[in-house]
Structure 1
Amino acid sequence: MRKHIVLILICLVTAGWLPAQNRYELNSGWKCHPLSQTKDRGENISNPSYSISKWKNAVVPGTVLTSLLANKEIPDPFYGMNNEKIPDIYDTGRDYYTYWFVKDFQENTPVNGEQIWLTFRGINYSCEIYLNGQKVNKEKYEGMFLRKTFNITGLLSKNGKNRLAVIVYPPDPVGKPNGGQGGDGRIAKNVSHQYVAGWDWIQPIRDRNTGIWDKVYIEKTGLVNLKNPHVITLVPGKRIPGDKQDEAVLKVSAELQNAGNAKISGTLKYEINGDIVTQKVSVDANSEIEVSMPDYTIKNPKLWWPSGYGNQDLYKIKIEFVDESNQKTQDFEIVQFGVREIQTEWNSHTRSKEIYVNGQRIFIKGGNWIISDAMLRFSNERYDAEIRYHRDMNLNLIRIWGGALTERPEFYEACNKYGMLVIQDFWFSGDCNGRWLDPLKAEDQWTRRKYPDNHGLVLESAIDMIKMIRNHASLAMWCGGNEIKPPVDILLPLRDTILPKLDGTRWFIDYSNSDEWSYNFLGGNGDGPYTIQPIESFWEKQTWPFNSEVGSVGVGDYESLLRFIPKENLIAPRYNPDAKFKEDVDPVWTYHTYSGVGYENHILPYGEPTDIKDFAMKAQLVNYNQYRALIEGFSSHMWEWYTGTIIWKTQNPWTSMRGQMYDYYLDPNACLFGLRKGSEMIHIMCNPVTKQTMVVNNSFEPLNDMMLVAKHYDYAGNETLLTQEVLYMEASHSKKIIPLQKQLEEKLKEDGGFLYLQLLDRNQKLVSDNFYWYPNAKGEYTGLNKMNKTEIKVTSRIAASGKMEISITNAEKGPVAFFNRIAIVDSKTGERILPAFYSDNYISVVPGETKNITVEYTPQPDVTPKVVVLGWNTEK
């Protein structure tokens, strides 16, 4: 019996079962072949007797390029200049990347009314589907954002051996990658993503991501197929996280499709908290209906909260349809959801939206998200790691940018888990869709304003995508497009009919920098800036009250650069005031979109870089300061100037150098840890202009009997206590505490120095600390370059599988151990173990102090982790 159980579990894993009903994924064993090398028709190719022995292995889900890469027919397009070695579809023509995909699978002819369904969760861009010599899709199937399900019961082979053949055609037109945002813009004539023709943070994807890019699965049901269940939760009043809660309301509905030739009556039901909720229903032959079930009152519900504010509790229910004639379950779906309610209000003081969750106002600290992988190589593990990094940055929202796609359910599952609210854009951008004059675009503004060509397909796709993701607690808002509204005949039905009917619980904003979101009283486009700023500007220069895009930098450290830049091109940029972007930059760096990120004047105060390693280290100093100052500046004016901000951007789907907190390989840089520090729920900080100390309390509870301690350290390590004061503070508030300008000016004048802030509770437990480094009166960090070396003691232990605890202790006498980068590496290869999640990094340790760091990672067989610490004035 034990052997049989193990065998069953192995079969379930290898077949790719999904967490719903009798369903399995077709995710291996595919073959592919270019259209240009065969003239055979789909009826022939899909016949199991047709020979595909000379066809190549295919990656599904995947694209043509991912299959070519897996077969080593192209080089890695993310490394060096390799992308230039791959033919672009604009030059080759669409047939070059038009491919057949074939999958043989075992499925016996069903009995007793069982129905077999074939579902595609995403193809790009259009396709013809054949099964066992017969065409499956009688009507045209096109559009990147459209699921399609086909009843294949009558098409299955009697001997159980079946062949599925799919020919996938690229978008049309493919667009010319001429260096513009979205190339010449014509890629937007399709209902698909736009970045594939190139953007200022990515080079063109040569096949425009043609392929069966999302999951394909087989599903077995009875005569009634239960589809698109919908769960709504209503949480009235203003709630506080905790064990005892007032009641909440659960509203559940589902679609029922009768594939039989006779009416079927039965009961739609689910169970929750030991109660069974039912609704009797009849479904006519060959028809489909939507059924709403009685509202259910959840007593003392466990609520879902954004990260930092409370738990991310989730419920799971099994919704099933039971045939009254035989009491058998015809079909069921398992739905996971969180009990929470999203609301918005207009703040008339800031002139921007405020977001509420369960009645509580949330100050938004968000990041703009493009896509997990530019070649659509998605995985649950990568989604989990990326969203966890966002949680670890103390962010509470992610915005899905409109030039990419509707994110996958697995993305939303990770956001549910880690407490990330999500704004989901629809598929428009100001660049391609005609907001501005642009000489690089092939067609004029008025023409581009009508993109895509097929408005009906846009609405059909929107309806389907809304149904796909609407049950997720993390989904908080819908946005019509990036920096532009959809055309009016798309916008109005989407806003006034489709969303109210299919959802009706979330805020819809017409476009990302709309005055309805954040009133643009300063002029301009309503977002940015996108370059490195003097850190003072984040505190003292007012920008849009809910800025949808602000930020830019993110060059990784030396180890990160090594992964995608050939050694001969690892040449540090050099300051040149006469150059276009005031820097001389290696062309490989330029290809990976370094140019224009603006490090030039911000690294020089630390001293001109001596080599690439020195440049990368000093870039991390700039990165840390930029993002700590950015989020601190916005937080310092919480509810006064701002109701939130969303950083452009927090991640890259390829090896770009623009705007990232971690690189494509999931290695975090100093941006992540500067942002993490500045975004703490309870945070102590100092205004770089006025040297006024401040405390930010993002929590729902006031702070009582807190102690603020401020110390100055010179570059020799000498300590001066500047102030120590008790403070009280209300909830969800920022407060100015003590000015330190006069005390610091004299101490920083010659060589600069350090400011160490601590916030302690009544038990003298550390609640927040912050470590600033300051230049001298001329704005130069001369003191840093004069610092003596100091010896640190590093200890580590494995606390649990995949968890390491590290302590770094600085000597009692001597200078600060400044800006230490901790990494865990494979002791054999020396390469970093990725992803790894650090409780803190790029840390400074004052004399006589110990800092404790926790690192979590996925253990690998035969890999022994080793700790490496590299600092400004410490030996490796």
Structure 2
Amino acid sequence: MQTLYKALVTVILAATALSLSAQSSYELNTGWKTVGIKSITDQGELISDPAYPLIGWQPAIVPGTVLTTQIANKTVPDPFFGMNNKLIPDIYNTGKDYYTYWFAKDFKEAIPANGNQVYLNLRGVNYSCNVFLNGHQLNVKLHQGMFLRQSYNVTKWLAKSGNNRLAIIVYPPNPVGNPNGGQGGDGTIARNVSIQYTPGWDWIQPIRDRNTGIWDKVTIEKTAGIRIIDPHVITLVPGVRQPGGPQKPATIQVSAQLKNDGAKTISGFLRYTLDGKLVSMKVTLKAGEVADVSLPDYSLKKPRLWWPNGYGPQNLYQLKLQFVSAANKVSDQKNIEVGVRQLTTEWNAKASGHQVNVNGQRVFIKGGNWIISDELLRFSKKRYDAEVRFHRDMNLNLIRVWGGALTERPEFYEACDKYGLLVFQDMWGSGDANGRWEDKTKLDDQKGRRKYPDDHDLYLRSVEDQVKMLRNYASLAIWCGGNEITQPDDILAAVRDTILPKLDNTRWFVDFSNSLDMGKNDKGINGDGPYGIQPLSYFWATKTYPFNSEVGSVGVGDIESLKRIIPEANLIAPEYNPVTRREKVDSVWKYHTYIGYENYVNKYGKVKDVRDWAEKAQLVNYDQYRALMEGFSSHMWDWYTGTIIWKTQNPWSAMRGQMYDYYLDPNACLYGLHSGSEPVHIMYNPVDSAVSIVNNTFSKLKNVTATVKIYTISGDAKLVTRLAKELPASGVTNLLSIRREIAAAATEKGAFLALRLTDADKRTISDNVYWLADKKGEYSGLNEMPASKLTITAKRLSKGKIAVILVNPNAAPVAFFNRVSLIDPKAGERVLPTFYSDNYVSVLPGEQKTVVVDYDVPVTSPKIAVRGWNMKERMVSVR
């Protein structure tokens, strides 16, 4: 019987493959043209006629915005460089018509036969639009809302010749907001259901067109009579699971809305295949009927589970959902990637905060706040993949999508599924614009802003639509009502009590990002911060909030990064005044929202020039983020259930809070975090001089050995201790205090502290090198280090993968803080993006380290550059 069943499935799948031509989808992403409404007075019915001449129209970027098109056509300068953004007219001053544009696209699509249907889908327009096809307006009334999809059955409007024209007029948000220097400008941008930071924030300058345009995909979709709409897949994984070993069954629940757009009754089967198994249900729909259909629950045997990064693999299944007619013709098909996991939350009484559980196991949240990939909405699957991969490489397990921005495109969540980053998804709103406090920069008073947005019904319809679009992603873990504030009471009640219970009842809903539901401190309050640079001891000794949604620091890149955005004349290092305790900062740096390093750079010696300043800033960067995550992890399940860094990336060329710059060039923040966030990590507490190990996995670790050494500046080593320990799962183990040894090392020059954790086979689990200040709290000894004797070889492992071997001979000084870069010799620049298994590495005397370089950018004969604190940059060829 089992053999017969398998044979039947094979036959069905083969028949399906033969009939897939009945449905298909493609994107309209090239060949668009555009013109401003000030240049044209004709109406959409005429413009959308394929015979209408598009004389004087310019090439357009779709998906994109008016401003991305202007930049591509070189009618405005690159706003990411220098002060160029100030040269672009702002919509608040020009009026909305200046950025109101027509977009037109000619495409071929024949009128279908045999009752087949053709749909036009728009995944996102900012802010309102009218849509025309071949002389007909498709929308009955003006479409509004940045986060509301559109879908039109265009079958009857297709041209008999097969030559069609789509024309869309796009209007900016209304109001556009005054960019007066406030968070979200004067706040009125929040009266729309739109992105809020476009009039400016403390980390970004105003976006001049307020992102007006067709910002998301436009597709043509073809089906037979029955269309599948917004399918929903739920996975239930009962009990407490481990990543390895055989698994008990998981339950798969699949449902979808079906619509019969044909002229007659259609019978057939809604069915899906998963892991080679077929689940099917017979369905009959009358002409014009819409029905919600739930397939029988399916018990998936021996499931391959999906886990967050650092806890287990990110297994993904391919689920093929189809409606097949009685004649075995595929009417419509949706391909869904499914991660089998179950998310729950519970209150952790000891930490006084909520904890997140995945597959029954508690997960200590190590997250980053995400704004948006590109302020100009120039998104791509490849860029999303690179940015989320960087977060994986930081050893983080969550990304919070901040509420002043947007719900991201599906490609972002696909990358999070792939790399194991849970998503904390804010809805659209912020305390700044939506009235959490009084603010003189705002046009309306606090009471007035608490009523934003103007159209509550549009907001709720947009929430429903986004939930339906995103609810199948395994990574999506938390819905949040807004950033630092709840939405108006009627919106909050509808989302919490109606929309989410109906459409997505398997995830935690938090009313706002620092809600008491997330946690409360000893005083019974919740909040976020601190922001900006801190003494390293702060993160270990100061208790903040149990589930801290925002805590952050600095993030300026090195000299190569600075040159991409700062004109040469403005490459001037900040000067710290110890009397006023303020920095003197160049005006272009200020415009790019530089956040101060205070006196921390000067602890490494007098700054020679901007290059020297940037190199020393990387030492500060590394230390700040390593200490941040170490400090929070040291109090795991005691003070904290998680923390989320503010912030890990920037959508433009900002000079703060970022692990890599806009151009995807990582700085030392990324690798300090990579170290401090290791799943199993040996670390040093600067407050009490204790060495401890955090085990962030679900399993005990037996027969591990901790080695503690102190090195002088010249490289002489002293073994403090070597200990064998057993590490409990999901906990912190205190090893010993080395206060006496550290006090002895804190001489006039400082020292290095080398901590290493190895397993029973002497393989390194965690390797952590600290540079210790002298008794004045400065790093004077680093400026007296002997020159590095490092040898460098680079060996190609495979296409796009290189091993860089760094060898430090015996009796040599520590080869300190070496940055590895992949170089395009023709351009003389770094290859971006490039992914390094580690970077800013220190190699101890008599040891070696290997950095694996991974890239997929075409480059001929790449070279490897390495520069260190005590070594000038050297370039080597790849063997």
Range of TM-score over shorter length: over 0.9
Question: Displacement of 1:522 after TM fit?
Answer: 4.6
CA deviations over 1:274-302 (Å, ceiling 9, x no partner):
33211222223223121111000000011
Deviates more, 1:743-752 or 1:127-136: 743-752
- Corresponding position: 1:22 with 2:24: yes
Match of 2:208 in 1: 206
Match of 1:407 in 2: 408
Deviates more, 1:436-445 or 1:805-814: 805-814
CA deviations over 1:795-817 (Å, ceiling 9, x no partner):
00111000000011123223211
Question: Displacement of 1:847 after TM fit?
Answer: 1.5
Question: Displacement of 1:308 after TM fit?
Answer: 1.2
Match of 2:68 in 1: 66
3-state DSSP of counterpart to 1:240: coil
Question: Displacement of 1:767 after TM fit?
Answer: 1.1
Matched to 1:561, the amino acid is L
CA deviations over 1:761-782 (Å, ceiling 9, x no partner):
1222111110000111111111
Match of 1:9 in 2: none
Find 1:827's aligned residue among 806, 825, 828. 825
3-state DSSP of counterpart to 1:616: helix
Deviates more, 1:813-822 or 1:730-739: 813-822
3-state DSSP of counterpart to 1:598: coil
CA separation in 2, counterparts of 1:787 and 1:273? 59
Find 1:234's aligned residue among 218, 222, 236. 236
CA separation in 2, counterparts of 1:392 and 1:139? 47
Alignment map for 1:86-97 (pairs within 5 Å)? 86-97=88-99
Question: Displacement of 1:705 after TM fit?
Answer: 1.3
Matched to 1:65, the amino acid is L
CA separation in 2, counterparts of 1:235 and 1:624? 39
CA separation in 2, counterparts of 1:523 and 1:620? 37
The answer to whether the 8 Å contact 1:21/1:334 transfers is no
Match of 1:384 in 2: 385
Match of 1:545 in 2: 546
Find 2:110's aligned residue among 108, 111, 118. 108
3-state DSSP of counterpart to 1:634: helix
The answer to whether the 8 Å contact 2:812/2:846 transfers is no
Matched to 1:718, the amino acid is D
Question: Displacement of 1:521 after TM fit?
Answer: 3.8
Alignment RMSD: 1.4
Relative to the length of structure 2, the TM-score reads: 0.96
Find 1:626's aligned residue among 624, 627, 635. 624
The answer to whether the 8 Å contact 1:243/1:302 transfers is no
Matched to 1:776, the amino acid is D
- Corresponding position: 1:293 with 2:295: yes
Question: Displacement of 1:707 after TM fit?
Answer: 1.0
CA separation in 2, counterparts of 1:201 and 1:336? 35
CA separation in 2, counterparts of 1:764 and 1:838? 24
CA deviations over 1:619-658 (Å, ceiling 9, x no partner):
0000000000000000101111111100000000100011
The answer to whether the 8 Å contact 1:790/1:811 transfers is no
Alignment map for 1:582-601 (pairs within 5 Å)? 582-594=582-594, 597-601=595-599
The answer to whether the 8 Å contact 2:575/2:583 transfers is yes
- Corresponding position: 1:789 with 2:826: no
CA separation in 2, counterparts of 1:328 and 1:751? 78
CA separation in 2, counterparts of 1:523 and 1:556? 38
Distance change (3 Å), C-alpha of 1:504 and 1:21: farther
CA separation in 2, counterparts of 1:355 and 1:95? 48
Match of 2:468 in 1: 467
CA separation in 2, counterparts of 1:734 and 1:468? 40
CA separation in 1, counterparts of 2:445 and 2:571? 41
| Aligned pairs, number | 854
The answer to whether the 8 Å contact 1:117/1:152 transfers is yes
Distance change (3 Å), C-alpha of 1:395 and 1:836: same
Question: Displacement of 1:790 after TM fit?
Answer: 2.0
Distance change (3 Å), C-alpha of 1:721 and 1:632: same
The answer to whether the 8 Å contact 1:43/1:130 transfers is yes
Match of 1:875 in 2: 872
Find 1:648's aligned residue among 646, 650, 660. 646
The answer to whether the 8 Å contact 1:20/1:333 transfers is no
Find 1:749's aligned residue among 730, 741, 747. 747
Question: Displacement of 1:577 after TM fit?
Answer: 4.7
Alignment map for 1:580-729 (pairs within 5 Å)? 582-594=582-594, 597-729=595-727
3-state DSSP of counterpart to 1:182: coil
Question: Displacement of 1:222 after TM fit?
Answer: 1.2
CA separation in 2, counterparts of 1:20 and 1:521? 62
3-state DSSP of counterpart to 1:631: helix
Alignment map for 1:265-284 (pairs within 5 Å)? 265-284=267-286
Matched to 1:81, the amino acid is M
CA deviations over 1:48-81 (Å, ceiling 9, x no partner):
1111032100000000001111111010001100
CA deviations over 1:316-344 (Å, ceiling 9, x no partner):
121111223x3322211111111000000
Question: Displacement of 1:259 after TM fit?
Answer: 1.1
- Corresponding position: 1:133 with 2:135: yes
Question: Displacement of 1:265 after TM fit?
Answer: 2.4
Deviates more, 1:757-766 or 1:380-389: 757-766
CA separation in 2, counterparts of 1:320 and 1:232? 17
Matched to 1:244, the amino acid is P
CA separation in 1, counterparts of 2:544 and 2:802? 42
CA separation in 2, counterparts of 1:875 and 1:331? 61
Distance change (3 Å), C-alpha of 1:578 and 1:145: farther
The answer to whether the 8 Å contact 2:833/2:857 transfers is no
Matched to 1:69, the amino acid is I
The answer to whether the 8 Å contact 1:20/1:332 transfers is no
Match of 2:155 in 1: 153
Match of 2:841 in 1: 843
Same amino acid, percent of matched pairs:
58
- Corresponding position: 1:505 with 2:506: yes
CA deviations over 1:406-441 (Å, ceiling 9, x no partner):
011100000010001001100010000000110000
Matched to 1:50, the amino acid is Y
3-state DSSP of counterpart to 2:206: coil
Matched to 1:417, the amino acid is K
Find 1:143's aligned residue among 124, 145, 155. 145
Matched to 2:256, the amino acid is A
Match of 2:224 in 1: 222
Match of 2:177 in 1: 175
CA separation in 1, counterparts of 2:417 and 2:21? 16
CA deviations over 1:457-494 (Å, ceiling 9, x no partner):
00100000001010000001100000000111111110
CA separation in 1, counterparts of 2:126 and 2:381? 21
Question: Displacement of 1:243 after TM fit?
Answer: 4.1
Alignment map for 1:466-505 (pairs within 5 Å)? 466-505=467-506
Question: Displacement of 1:495 after TM fit?
Answer: 0.5
CA separation in 1, counterparts of 2:522 and 2:403? 24
Relative to the length of structure 1, the TM-score reads: 0.96
The answer to whether the 8 Å contact 1:793/1:808 transfers is yes
Distance change (3 Å), C-alpha of 1:792 and 1:19: farther
CA deviations over 1:5-24 (Å, ceiling 9, x no partner):
xxxxxxxxxxxxx9995000
- Corresponding position: 1:765 with 2:763: yes
Match of 2:851 in 1: 853
Match of 1:576 in 2: 577
3-state DSSP of counterpart to 1:196: coil
Question: Displacement of 1:149 after TM fit?
Answer: 0.2
Matched to 1:196, the amino acid is T
The answer to whether the 8 Å contact 1:547/1:646 transfers is yes
Match of 2:9 in 1: none
Matched to 2:113, the amino acid is V
The answer to whether the 8 Å contact 2:692/2:735 transfers is yes
Find 1:780's aligned residue among 778, 781, 784. 778
Matched to 2:697, the amino acid is S
Alignment map for 1:387-398 (pairs within 5 Å)? 387-398=388-399
CA separation in 2, counterparts of 1:753 and 1:800? 39
Matched to 1:613, the amino acid is R
- Corresponding position: 1:533 with 2:534: yes
CA separation in 2, counterparts of 1:683 and 1:144? 43
The answer to whether the 8 Å contact 2:115/2:225 transfers is yes
The answer to whether the 8 Å contact 2:107/2:164 transfers is yes
Find 2:811's aligned residue among 800, 810, 813. 813
Matched to 2:115, the amino acid is G
Matched to 1:23, the amino acid is S
Match of 2:352 in 1: 351
Matched to 1:639, the amino acid is W
Match of 2:450 in 1: 449
Deviates more, 1:600-609 or 1:121-130: 600-609
CA deviations over 1:164-216 (Å, ceiling 9, x no partner):
00000000000000011000000000000001110011000000000000000
